[in-house]
Amino acid sequence: VNPDLAGERQTASFSVEKLTAQLDGGAEHTRIRRAVVEAIECDPVFSREDQYFQSQNERYEAAVRKAVHLQKKMHEMGWTESGPEFKYIYRALSGDVAFLLHRIFMRSISVLGSDKQVAKWIPLATQFRLIGSYAQTELGHGTYLQGLETTAVFDTTTQEFILNTPKISAMKWWPGDMGRSATHTVAFAQLYIHEKCYGVHPFIVQIRSLQDHSLCPGIIAGDIGPKMNFEHIDNGYLMLQNVRVPRENMLNKFCEVQPDGTYVRRGSQKINYFTMTTVRISLISDEVIIPLMKACTIAIRYSVVRRQSKLKPGEQEAKILDYQTQQEKLLPPLAATYAFHFINDYLQELFNRGYQEIQRKNFDMLPELHAFSSGFKAMVTQYCTSAVEICLRACGGHGYSLLSGLPSLYTKILASCIYEGENTILLLQTARFLIKCFMAASAGQPVPPSVTYLAAVKPGKCPAKNKLDFLCPDIYTEAYQHMAVRLVSSTAAKLQDLVQSGVKKHDAWNQCTVQLAQAAKAHCHYITVKNFAETVEKLETKAGIQKIMKHLCDLFALHGMFSNAGVFLHDGYVSGAQMDMVTASYLDLLAVIRKDAVPLVDAFDFTDKSLNSALGSYDGQVYQRLYEWAQKSPTNKQMSPAYERYLKPLLHNTLSKL
């Protein structure tokens, strides 16, 4: 181990192992997770060693090979989809596996299909007799579902739906596993019966032959070309030309087209709606928080190995993490990983509770859950994406090498801001909920528990008298609450003013959207700070864990105030002098947390293979590894034809040609 890194570990103020167990939700979970990771990483089929050098074709092939091998592995190890090991498999593979949409295909059939349809399709899918995909997004239409243009016209004479892509913007675009792998897909299309449109419905469509995998008649499908990441996934396009599917292929748990063309709606779709919102929450942990944890691990370990310039004359060059500016880049993201880890736990619990209520046919919690899932998905993905980018830049030139692992973490997390709902649109959905609740609260009506604070508007001023007061959670939580209330209430007032002055409602809404999005973010930020502070209260005081978590919580809150000073100062709740105290306390905390930075990332417990980074490995042998890995680059193995073809003539003959 690099001595610079080893030294960092000796001074930890807390037990790393205890904190790891805390993050996993108990030592038993840590044990299971490590066993799964171990089993997967020791299997050469799952190796990611050459990943950075592979072409799109090679990455795709490897992902398919891994997906197939995984079935065998699970059988061998006795892991099942309902077992405790399952959730760790994806993490152990770092998502580098095909057929993820196959799962969404199965889930959508289970949720939207009748018992009969489930009985027919799910066994086929489980045994991989077919490979499924999920085709919703079109070239010209994304988050706004009603705008989809694919059509499904019911033909009573043959009892079939005729599916068509009427124009180029209606082509299905982006669905994973569809470019090359899938044999079937759930396609969303506007249903027409007797020339009347009934809106968007899901249909099971076969797209490739089960014998030789060639495209079915009327189907045009292929890969959408290279993207910033996900080279291993064959995101695809799909064009349908008079493709006929039997009447039974429309997923019909909630609505059915009868043989004579009568359209029948049944049951409540609310539970289905709920399932879709849970997808947003479920991606937060694997796709967003874990990549940020990895990026922090790489950047912080590298920052104690890298030395640059001198802090004091005559001394060795200093570790870059000893520079205040480097701490300011890396430590707030580190605090954020913990803040978001805890808010994720909170949301999971809330959604489990919601699920039980909904099964009892109590739908009261739905609007609140929907607002939670939209707002937090947007806030967490946005924050973590910027934070990963900061980590990348904080590693200077070497961060830009793919071998650092940071570029692929960044390009991957960047996608999370877009899929499952574009972030701005999601924030506005949360804002709509907040405005509604604020109006209700002002009128004295009851509102959901997470927003009762909107009713309790206290004007007042921040009571802090010196910089230490800002290390008191009540002080900063109150400040966040005040700020959120102010932003929600002032935007609500603005909306009302506009409407009263004769502006149409939707125009008024569009004129306030910048403020509305800001208010939604402020609400989520407040809840995150509050939850972090409450979680710290409940942590065990042993092994130094509560103490270090308290520091991180303070840092997360004060960094937020420091970097959004204007919104706290705006109405004078926090004064200019108090803002100087916030800054002072914030900067002091950087120096305190600096000492535990390496143990704090060690606690995330990523193996070197899972980080797959020349800069971030546990032993800190950064430069040797970078040099060794570079030599593996294919550009160094093959003699480039460029020399013989172009350089040589250039070097030897140009003079005579000039």
Length of the chain: 658
Q: Does 224 bind other proteins (CB under 8 A)?
A: yes
Query: Interface residues for other proteins in 585-604 (CB under 8 A)?
Result: 587
Residue with smaller CB distance to other proteins, 112 or 524: 524
CB neighbours of residue 52 within 10 Å: 18
**Residue 267 assigned ligand-binding role:** no
| Tokens, residue 298 | 């790489």
Contact 386, 428 (CB under 8 A): no
| Tokens, residue 96 | 């580098």
User: Mind telling me the catalytic residues?
Assistant: 420
Select from 250, 403, 479, 589 the one that contacts other proteins (CB under 8 A): 403
Half-sphere exposure of 328 (CA within 13 A, CB side): 13
Query: Interface residues for other proteins in 519-558 (CB under 8 A)?
Result: none
Query: Interface residues for other proteins in 412-451 (CB under 8 A)?
Result: 414-415, 417-419, 422-425, 428
Residue with smaller CB distance to other proteins, 98 or 358: 98
Q: Does 44 bind other proteins (CB under 8 A)?
A: no
Contact 525, 481 (CB under 8 A): no
Q: Does 200 bind other proteins (CB under 8 A)?
A: no
Residue with smaller CB distance to other proteins, 153 or 574: 574
Select from 116, 194, 227, 458 the one that contacts other proteins (CB under 8 A): 227
Residue with smaller CB distance to other proteins, 87 or 393: 393
CA distance 533 to 476: 10
Those residues whose C-beta lies under 8 Å from the C-beta of residue 339, and which sit 6 or more positions away, are 528, 529, 532, 552, 553, 556
Rounded least distance, CB 461 to other proteins, Å: 14
Residue with smaller CB distance to other proteins, 252 or 612: 612
Select from 4, 286, 328, 345 the one that contacts other proteins (CB under 8 A): 328
CA distance 562 to 649: 60
Query: Interface residues for other proteins in 621-650 (CB under 8 A)?
Result: 623-624, 626-627, 629-636, 638, 640-643, 645-650
The piece of 12-20, 29-37, 399-407, 544-552 that touches other proteins (CB under 8 A) is 399-407
Quick note: the x/- pattern for other proteins over 63-102, rule CB under 8 A, is -xx--x--x-------------------------------
CA distance 529 to 473: 9
Rounded least distance, CB 574 to other proteins, Å: 10
- DSSP class of 169: G
Quick note: the x/- pattern for other proteins over 484-523, rule CB under 8 A, is --------------------x-xx--xxxxxx-x------
Select from 115, 195, 212, 540 the one that contacts other proteins (CB under 8 A): 212
Q: Which of 300, 254, 322, 321 is nearest to 108 (CA)?
A: 254
- Buried residues in 356-366 as b, exposed as e (16+ CB within 10 A): eebeeeebebb
Q: Does 566 bind other proteins (CB under 8 A)?
A: yes
Residue with smaller CB distance to other proteins, 223 or 619: 223
Residue with smaller CB distance to other proteins, 61 or 534: 61
| Tokens, residue 473 | 């959670």
Select from 308, 429, 442, 546 the one that contacts other proteins (CB under 8 A): 308
One DSSP character per residue, 46-80 reads: G--TTGGG--HHHHHHHHHHHHHHHHHHHHHHT--
Select from 24, 53, 159, 278 the one that contacts other proteins (CB under 8 A): 53
**Residue 158 assigned ligand-binding role:** no
Select from 105, 132, 134, 142 the one that contacts other proteins (CB under 8 A): 142
CA distance 474 to 482: 12
Select from 310, 353, 458, 461 the one that contacts other proteins (CB under 8 A): 310
Q: Is 110 left (phi over 0), alpha (psi -120 to 50) or beta?
A: alpha
Task: Sort strands 236-240 and 243-246 into parallel, antiparallel or unpaired.
Answer: unpaired
Q: Does 41 bind other proteins (CB under 8 A)?
A: no
Residue with smaller CB distance to other proteins, 171 or 255: 171
Rounded least distance, CB 305 to other proteins, Å: 9
| Tokens, residue 153 | 């016209």
| Type and span of the H or E element at 623 | helix 622-631
Rounded least distance, CB 635 to other proteins, Å: 4
Query: Interface residues for other proteins in 95-134 (CB under 8 A)?
Result: 127-129, 131
Contact 369, 279 (CB under 8 A): no
Quick note: the x/- pattern for other proteins over 268-307, rule CB under 8 A, is --------------------------------------xx
CA torsion, ordered 148, 150, 155, 158, to nearest 10 deg: -130
CA distance 221 to 564: 47
Residue with smaller CB distance to other proteins, 60 or 526: 60
Contact 234, 179 (CB under 8 A): yes
One DSSP character per residue, 484-505 reads: HHHHHHHHHHHHHHHHHTT--H
Rounded least distance, CB 209 to other proteins, Å: 9
CA distance 13 to 28: 24
3-state SS of 553-611? Answer: HHHHHHHHHHHCHHHHHCCCCCCHHHHHHHHHHHHHHHHHHHCCHHHHHHCCCCCHHHH
Query: Interface residues for other proteins in 149-178 (CB under 8 A)?
Result: 168-169, 171, 173-174
Select from 132, 179, 332, 599 the one that contacts other proteins (CB under 8 A): 179
* Total chain residues near other proteins (CB under 8 A): 137
Query: Interface residues for other proteins in 351-380 (CB under 8 A)?
Result: none
Contact 529, 557 (CB under 8 A): yes
Residue with smaller CB distance to other proteins, 82 or 325: 325
Q: List residues forming the annotated binding site for FAD.
A: 137, 176
